[in-house]
Structure 1
Amino acid sequence: MAKFLVIQAARFGDLVQTKRLLLSLAGRGEVHLAVDAGLVSLARLLYPFAELHALSVHGGPQAEALARNAAVLARWRGEHFDAVYNCNFSGTTAALCRVFEEAQVCGYRPGAGGITRSPWALLAFRISERRALAPLNLVDFWAHFAPQPVPPHTVNPVATPGGQGLGVVLAGRESRRSLPVPVLAEVVRAAFGAMGGPKVFLLGSAAEKNAARQLMRQLPAKMLPAVEDLSGKTDWPALVDAVTGLDALVTPDTGIMHLGAHLGVPVLAFFLSSAWQHETGPYGEGHHVWQTSRGCGPCLESAPCPYNVACGEPLAQVELLRSLVAVLGSIKSGLPATAASEKKWPALAADLQLWRTGLDALGARPMLLAGHDPHAAERLYVREFLAARQHVALKPAGSAPAYRPTADLEQWLCNDADWMLPPGRYC
C-alpha cells in the first residue's frame, strides 16, 4: 500500500483547509499527518483516518521542541513514504524535509539557497502577487499538490441549518480583520430577530472574553437570556460539539469559520482588510460572504493600514443588515443556487459585495449576488488558465462577457515554462 506524509505545521484554520488534499491521498493509501503538538487532538477529530505526528513549531521550551522534533525525524527515517507534501513555506518544515530525497517532496523543499518551491507552488505564489485577481481557494491550492484530487463537492457537506441556534465568533487573531464590537452587536441583533430568537453561542479563545463582555453590554436586555458565552471555555472536542448543528455561524475569517464549513454549518462571513474570500473563504456550497472591495484591498496583514481601516465602513451601514436578513430568509427557505443567482437582493453600500459559495471542477468558485466586481473577467481568465495547467475541464462560463487579456496579464501568467509540467511529482 502507498504511504503519504502531509506536513501541515500552520494553525487551526490551515489544518481544516488541508482536508481536500488529505481526502485525496486517503483514497490511494495510508496517510500520515504532521501537525503542531497543540493541534493533535483537533486533527484526530477532523481526520480519524490519518496517522498523526506531533511537531513543535509554535513556541515552547527550545530543548523540549528539539527533542520532540528529533524523535519525529527518527520515526520518519524508519518509514518509507511514496511522497511527502510540505504545505508550509517555513524554514522549520523545510529543514525537517532534509531527511527525505528531494524528489519525494512536493510543495516547499530545502535548497542550497533556502526554501525552494515546486512548480505548482511557484505559480500559485506568482498569482498571489495580484490578489484581487487570485481565483484559487487555499483548500484547492493544497489539494492540487496531489494528482487528481477528489471532486470538490465531496469535501464538505452542503450548508444546512441544524436546529441548534446561532454561533457568533467574536474575533480573529488580527483585530483589523474582525468586526468592531458595536458593528458585531448590530449584526447579531438583526440575525437574532430574523431567525426568530434562537439560542446564541459566543465562541472564541480566552483572549476574546473581554470582547464577549462588551458585546453582551451592547445587546438588548431581552436577548441576554438566550446568550451563552463560551469564550475560553472550550477545548477542541467541546468546540466541535458547540459548532456542530448550528443554524448559522457569524464570523470573520477564522479557524472556527473553516470548522463550520467542514461540519456543513451555514457560514455568514465578513471579510475586510487582508481577508480575501477568493483565497480563504468558507469551502463548500451555500455559505455567504460579505467582502469589502476598496481599491486598496486586499492588503498585506503585516503592513500598517494608512487609511484607518476605512474598508470596514461599508459593514457598518444599514444596507448590510437588510442584506443579512434576506440571506437568512434564503437559508431558511432552502433557496437553491440557481434561484439565489436570479433573486433580487437588497442593494449594498459602495465597496461591498455579497457572495454565495459554490464549486466547479477546479474547486471553490463563489457567485456574486450583490455589489460590483470590477475584476470578474480577469479573475475568470486566470481561473481558466490554472484549470488548464492542472488538466481540469471547466464548463463554459455561459453569459460571461467576452474577454481579451492584456499582454501584461498574459506575460504575468506565462513568464516561465514551469506551468507546462504535468502535476504529480512536479506539484
Structure 2
Amino acid sequence: MKNLIVQAQRLGDLVMTYPLFIWLKKQDDKEIFVLAEEKFYKELLHISPLVTYIPTDKMAYLKNFSYDTVINLSHREDTAKLVSTLDKNNFYGLEIENGCKKISGKWQLYRTSLTHNNHYNRLHWADLNALDCIDPAIMHSTKWKIPQGRQNGKIGLFVGASEETKRPSVDFWAELAFQLCKKGYDPVFISGPGNEEKSIAYAAAKKANIPHGVIAGSLSIFELIHFLETLQLFVCPDTGPMHIASFANVPTLNLSIGPVNPWETAPYPPYHYVLRSGISCSGCWQCTKEEQFCRRAFVPHRIANLVHSLLLQKPLPNIPSITLYKTGRNTLGLYELEPIFGEKHYHSLQADFWRSFFLYVLSEKSSRYLPAYEKSKADLFSALPKLKPVMQKGHINLIKTLVMTEKTNSILEPEAWKQYPPLLRPLTSYVQLLLENGNYSKEIRLTAMKLSEEFRNALQ
C-alpha cells in the first residue's frame, strides 16, 4: 500500500506541504504519491523531499492503487470527488460523494473554520496539514538547517504577491532599494512572469536609479532557486518564492503586509524574519477599511536600517508601530513567531489561549498539551481579568442556542457564529462548522455540547 497527499493548489501551498512529506515518511515508511500541478513540482525537485509526483491531469491513474492514508489538502471539486472513490484505510480533508461535501479530521475542520475568522489563530498551515495524522513527537524531533546567505551584499527584492493588497507599492520598493544602495548593498528586483509585477519591478528600479538591477519575470522556478542561493538576504511579501527561499536555506525577511496572518503562512523553517504592522486589525482575512492602515508602518528607510543591522549583527533599531519576529519552534515543537520587538502582549495572550485550548481539546485532553493549556488560562485571566465575565456571558448564549436548536430539531443561521464577540469566534465558528459537517446528527450535537462545556471549564 501507498500513502497519498493531494496538494493541487498554488506554488506556496505545495512548498508548505514539504514538512508533511518528511513526517509521513518518518512515521510510515511507505511510498508517498503527491498529486500536484506539474508546472510547479517539476521545477521544485531541487528542494523537494523525495516523493512520487503525479500530475493533476493524470489523477485517474491514482485509482489503480490502494492507500493506507489519503490526505486531501486541496479545495478543488475534482480532487474532492476523486478521493471519495479511492480505496483507503484513513482519510483526512475534503471529499465529495454523491454531491455531498464532508471534511474528515478535527484539524482539517479547524482549518476550514478559520475562513474570515483567523485573527486569533496561531497554528501554521504546515502544522495544520499534519496534526490529524502525524505523531507530535515526530514533528518535535525534526531538525531544520540554519539559513546560510552569501556574504556578498546582494539582496533580492521580490515585488510580487498573489493579491495587490499583499504587496508594497512601487514607491516603497524604489526608496528601499535606494537606501540599501546608500549603505553599500546591491539590491536586485525580482518578479514573477505577470505583466503587472514586471512593470512594478522596472518602475521601482528606474526610480531607485538602478535600471539594470532587475530580473523581471525572466526566470523559471528552477532558475529562481539557483539565483536565490546567490543572495545574502531575500526580502519579499507573502508569496510563493518566499517559501521557496526559506526551504532553499536562503535567509528571508518577510514583509507581512495586508490580509495575511504570518502565524499561518510566513516562512516555516526556523531562523527567518517577519515584519508585521502593530495595528490591531493586522493579520485579517480580508481588509474592510477604506485604506490599508497596516501599510503605514512600513517606512523604507527604517526597514533599510533594520536590514543593515540584521546583516551586520548589530543592535536592532526599534521601528514605531511595527513588530519584528524570528521564526522558530515552541516547547511543543510547533511553529512559533518569536517576538524581537514591538509585539502587543494582550493580543498574544488571547491567541495563545485559543491555540492551547484547541490543542488540548482536539487531542482528547492529551497530557502533552495540558501544561501549556493551564499556563495560557492563568496568564490570560491574570493579565485581563475583565475578559472572563465577557467570555462567560458568550458561553451561556452559545449553550442556550445549542439547546434550543436540539429541542426544535433546527439548524443555525448560516453566519450565526458571527453574532458573538470576535474573541469567542474561534469557538463559535468551529462549533457551527462541526454541526454542519455532521449534518446535525444527535451524536454531533453531543460533541458540540461537550466542546462548549470544555470552554466553560476553562473559565472556572
State the TM bucket, normalised to the shorter chain.
0.7 to 0.9
Alignment partners' CA distance in 1, 2:206 and 2:224 = 24
- Show the counterpart of 2:2: 3
- Show the counterpart of 2:34: 33
Alignment partners' CA distance in 2, 1:321 and 1:200 = 14
Q: 1:38–1:93: structure 2 CA closer, same or farther, 3 Å change rule?
A: same
Q: 1:243–1:319: structure 2 CA closer, same or farther, 3 Å change rule?
A: closer
Residue identity in the other structure for 2:22: L
1:135 to 119, 122, 144: 122
Q: Answer yes or no: is the 8 Å Cα contact 2:173–2:300 preserved in 1.
A: no
- Show the counterpart of 1:62: none
State the Cα distance separating 1:299 from its structure 2 match.
3.3
Alignment partners' CA distance in 1, 2:181 and 2:140 = 32
State the Cα distance separating 1:89 from its structure 2 match.
2.2
Alignment partners' CA distance in 2, 1:397 and 1:355 = 23
- Show the counterpart of 2:290: 307
Counterparts of 1:117-266 in structure 2 under 5 Å?
117-118=103-104, 119-127=106-114, 129-148=116-135, 150-151=138-139, 154=142, 156-163=144-151, 165-194=154-183, 196-198=184-186, 200=188, 202-207=190-195, 208-220=197-209, 223=210, 227=213, 229-266=214-251
Q: Answer yes or no: is the 8 Å Cα contact 2:261–2:285 preserved in 1.
A: no
Q: How many pairs align?
A: 384
Counterparts of 1:13-52 in structure 2 under 5 Å?
13-27=12-26, 28=28, 29-47=30-48, 49-52=50-53
Q: 1:114–1:299: structure 2 CA closer, same or farther, 3 Å change rule?
A: farther
| Structure 1: tracts of 5 or more residues without a match | 56-67, 334-342, 421-427
| Structure 2: tracts of 5 or more residues without a match | 382-387, 395-422, 435-446, 452-460
1:371 to 342, 346, 355: 342
The Cα offsets for residues 40-70 of structure 1, whole Å up to 9 and x where unpaired, read as: 3134333352111101xxxxxxxxxxxx3xx
- Show the counterpart of 1:423: none
Q: 1:144–1:78: structure 2 CA closer, same or farther, 3 Å change rule?
A: same
State the Cα distance separating 1:224 from its structure 2 match.
5.3
- Show the counterpart of 1:65: none
Q: Answer yes or no: is the 8 Å Cα contact 1:91–1:115 preserved in 2.
A: no
Q: 1:411–1:322: structure 2 CA closer, same or farther, 3 Å change rule?
A: closer
Alignment partners' CA distance in 1, 2:350 and 2:97 = 34
Q: 1:238–1:370: structure 2 CA closer, same or farther, 3 Å change rule?
A: same
Alignment partners' CA distance in 1, 2:226 and 2:273 = 22
Q: Which stretch shifts more, 9-18 or 244-253?
A: 244-253
- Show the counterpart of 1:326: 309
- Show the counterpart of 1:114: 100
State the Cα distance separating 1:269 from its structure 2 match.
1.1
RMSD, aligned CA: 3.0
State the Cα distance separating 1:133 from its structure 2 match.
0.9
State the Cα distance separating 1:23 from its structure 2 match.
0.7
Q: Is 1:354 paired with 2:324?
A: yes
Q: Answer yes or no: is the 8 Å Cα contact 2:157–2:188 preserved in 1.
A: yes
Alignment partners' CA distance in 2, 1:189 and 1:293 = 25
State the Cα distance separating 1:354 from its structure 2 match.
1.6
State the Cα distance separating 1:297 from its structure 2 match.
3.7
Q: Answer yes or no: is the 8 Å Cα contact 1:155–1:284 preserved in 2.
A: no
The Cα offsets for residues 354-410 of structure 1, whole Å up to 9 and x where unpaired, read as: 211111234210011222424110111122224333455588699988223633467
Q: Answer yes or no: is the 8 Å Cα contact 1:156–1:264 preserved in 2.
A: no
2:359 to 379, 387, 393: 387
State the Cα distance separating 1:39 from its structure 2 match.
1.8
Q: Answer yes or no: is the 8 Å Cα contact 1:163–1:245 preserved in 2.
A: no
- Show the counterpart of 1:316: 299
Residue identity in the other structure for 2:327: T
State the Cα distance separating 1:233 from its structure 2 match.
1.3
1:81 to 32, 49, 67: 67
Q: Answer yes or no: is the 8 Å Cα contact 1:290–1:353 preserved in 2.
A: yes
Q: 1:137–1:193: structure 2 CA closer, same or farther, 3 Å change rule?
A: farther
Residue identity in the other structure for 2:64: G
Q: 1:276–1:153: structure 2 CA closer, same or farther, 3 Å change rule?
A: farther
Alignment partners' CA distance in 2, 1:395 and 1:284 = 25
Residue identity in the other structure for 2:82: L
Q: Which stretch shifts more, 291-300 or 364-373?
A: 291-300
- Show the counterpart of 1:287: 272
Indicate the percent of aligned positions where both proteins have the same amino acid.
Answer: 20
- Show the counterpart of 1:425: none
TM-score, normalising length: structure 2: 0.75
Alignment partners' CA distance in 2, 1:81 and 1:96 = 13
